[in-house]
A and B are shown apart, each in its own frame.
Chain A
Amino acid sequence: MQLLLQQVMAGLANGAIYACVALSVVMIFLAIDHLNFAQGEMATFSTFIAWQFIHWGLPYWVAFIAVVAVSFIGGIAIERVLFKPLHHAPILASLVGFIALFSILNSGDGYIWDYTIKSFPTPFGNKPLFGSVLIDTHEAGMIGVTAMMLGLIYLFFRGTRLGLAMRAAAANPESARLVGIRVGWMTALGWGLAAAIGAVGGMLIAPVVFLEPNMMFGVLLYGFAGAVLGGLTSPAGAVIGGFAVGVIENLAGTFIPYVGRDLKLTIALVVIVAVLMVRPSGIFGRAVVSRV
């Protein structure tokens, strides 16, 4: 029982990371109607830039804000330069765009900053939270910031006209044009937001998993899994999905015999696929009802 509780808490701690990533995945999906496969690499690249700023002497929070701003602009640039020309191509051509972006960023940050593992500072410290052994201040900070981002994003998409316009542009570009929305710029903005959210995620995760070019790779898979599990149209679902994936992964590794560390990811994915079989839109996702 004690072991179960420990593993659940450990899973939740990991889950905070996955929840953060899952949140960015869903946000981007809502904004651009695509899964951004290069999300992790964009986040890693941003985190490297942050590391560089800090290395050059900027205080943490200044670097943080600067990186978020730079990432926002970078995201817009990526959309205008890379994906806009592919708009009229067959759907899967953009997939090549994503893969290429992934490749370029991954190789690029390795080249610029090399492959040695770097440590990344946390503004929250690493002390146990209120003396508890289960969760420390950084993890609490991570969860807090994730929750805050969730709140802001919810307000943005549900409560502002721009958020509505972005959702509309992603969901039905032609109809969006017919109400006067500049769809091209909405998509670009969506990418900017995606990059900014990813940057925040990267900077929160790096202190835990350490900064190196492949930092996000494993995390991103779990993040996608969490987003899908929670339902791609629900930001809150994504966060819950992320936590769930963390717990499932840990419990599977601990309690299912023969699995151990080797098959943890497989088991997690199998469980997720099983859930999708029962609820194809994810636990909290809204099924898209289409009339024939």
Chain B
Amino acid sequence: MTTTPQEHAVRFAGAGAVRRLAWPSTRYCLIGSAVAIAAVLPLTCQSFVIFQLTEVMIYGLAILGLNLLTGFGGQFSLGHGAFFGLGAYVTAILMQHYDVAYYWTLPAAGGICFVVGTLFGLPALRLQGLYLALATFALAVALPQLLKFHGLEGWTGGVQGIVVDQPDAPDFLPIDPDQWLYYFTLAVLLVMFAGAANLVKSRTGRAIMAIRDHPIAAAAMGINAPLYKTLTFGVSAFFTGVAGALGAFAAQFVAPDSFTLFLSISFLVGLILGGMGSLPGCLFGGLFVLYVPNIAQTVSRGLAGAIYGVIMLLVIFVMPSGAAGFTRIAWAHLSRWRSRRTQVNNLIEGRTP
């Protein structure tokens, strides 16, 4: 059945994907205030809350990686937990076996994930939709098995995994390691979100979206689809790999069972609930992934999974396009209401509209 590119984009990613990415000044104000609040928070909160906020950011970043691939690139992945785990393990191995300073492990983790992601993207070119899902699914299932494999135990630490030392704050800053990790993660997050925003707005970003919406037309326009699609995989893996590295610092260890299929699915759920094709939505997704399983457990240990499922359903029924879509629709209604109010007021007071 023929769908126009418009219809396809809207069906795939919700209303957000079609709107031009205009950034009015209100947006910049909101972001500015959010960053300011984020910068101040750890000075006022308990250690545990700081840790959780750090995790939200880490998951948000991981979901951002998936968003670049699925939301903007239109390619499906059930395997991003594997890139997260790969990034984490690269960090752990470099720090524990090779004494590499923690900040250098980030580019290394990202870089290796980029390479693996690109390599994975190559055969993935031949697979569409469900078949790609199966391939990425295989990736997600394979990683824990490979990590536990006794042939590689010298490197991976087998089932036990590897312990990771939490990075210390630099000497000149009077904050504890938890707070330092928070700021470090925040800085990395801001840089990478800015990078992602730039990518999406750029010609490359538009080419990628063109490929998502109408691959044949895009190819006819001379866009090198295989190149872009493969690179998208690589970049997406890069983002999630860096998040994995940060995750290793936060958890202070890496083990195969931390990176199962469940993690991949959680990322995907977080992405959809946050709103595909939305950058801020990723943070909402991160919040969901972190808090809701815990909430479900506290409500009822035995039915935790069921409660998790029910909450997911409630969220998706109320916000079918995710939190981002919901905010957009709410904002649109609000502006319309306000402009109608102004029109009415103008009429009442005799002003020309």
Contact = CB atoms under 8 A, between A and B. Distances in A.
Contacts of B145: 262-263, 265-266
Interface stretch (B244-252, B297-305, B334-342, B344-352): B297-305
Interface of A: 35, 82, 85-86, 88-93, 95-97, 99-104, 106-108, 110-111, 172, 174-175, 221, 224-225, 228, 232, 258, 262-263, 265-266, 269-270, 272-273, 276-277, 280, 292
Interface string B278-315: 00000000000000000000000011111111101101
Contacts of A270: 138, 142
Contacts, number: 138
Interface string B57-83: 000000000000010000000000000
Interface string B121-164: 00100111011011101100110011011110000000000000
Nearest to B266: A99
A269 B127 CA distance: 14
Rank and list the top 4 A-B pairs by shortest CB-CB distance, nearest first.
A107-B305, A89-B320, A103-B309, A269-B138
B123 A97 contact: no
B306 A273 contact: no
B303 A107 contact: yes
Given A90-B13, A90-B276, A266-B141, A276 B127 contact: yes
- Sorting the interface of chain B by its residue count into under 10, 10 to 19, 20 to 34 or 35 or more gives 35 or more
A95 B272 contact: yes
17 contacts: A86-B317, A89-B320, A90-B12, A93-B272, A96-B269, A99-B269, A101-B309, A104-B306, A107-B303, A107-B304, A108-B305, A221-B141, A262-B149, A266-B142, A269-B137, A273-B138, A277-B123
Contacts of A110: 302, 305
Contact of A262 (B70, B148, B325): B148
Contacts of B142: 263, 265-266, 269-270
A228 B146 contact: no
Given A111-B302, A270-B138, A292-B216, A258 B151 contact: yes
Given A90-B12, A263-B145, A265-B145, A103 B312 contact: yes
Contacts of A89: 14, 316, 320-321
B306 A108 contact: yes
